Structure 1
């Protein structure tokens, strides 16, 4: 399993990035959550099979049509999620 925390920087708020991430996560069977951060970035914590990680990463790197992803910081974490993916407010 791949358990990670991602911070996504760029134009990622107000462009449906969280909903896009939730849809991709549900499509790929990824569990966890996504939320907007006060600094304008988006934070994601997610758990998935290791072979799903490249697809998930490429999807969030692309983002929805109105987004512009400048960079993504990825950190492996010990926490594991199961049972779905949600948008946290």
Structure 2
């Protein structure tokens, strides 16, 4: 992840009072996902409601412990990504 994005993600974690162990990158992905989905996959317009919902959902996911830092004890390989 680019340094500027990493700093933004860390800032999001610190300002949302996310629980310890929340991965800043995952929080940023959760914030961007609904907007990206509309722009790229469904080609729906992104309006203020979409942005507001993303801002509400990403911290909620963090508080539900749904965005933990990944366990990187083993490297993943191949097209199945270790699954």
| Category of TM-score, reference length = shorter chain | 0.3 to 0.5
TM-score, with structure 2 as normaliser: 0.33
TM-score, with structure 1 as normaliser: 0.32
Q: Report which structure shows greater RCO (CA 8 Å, sep ≥6).
A: 1
Give the helix-richer structure, 1 or 2: 2
Give the strand-richer structure, 1 or 2: 1
Instruction: Give the number of the structure whose alpha-carbon radius of gyration is greater.
Output: 2
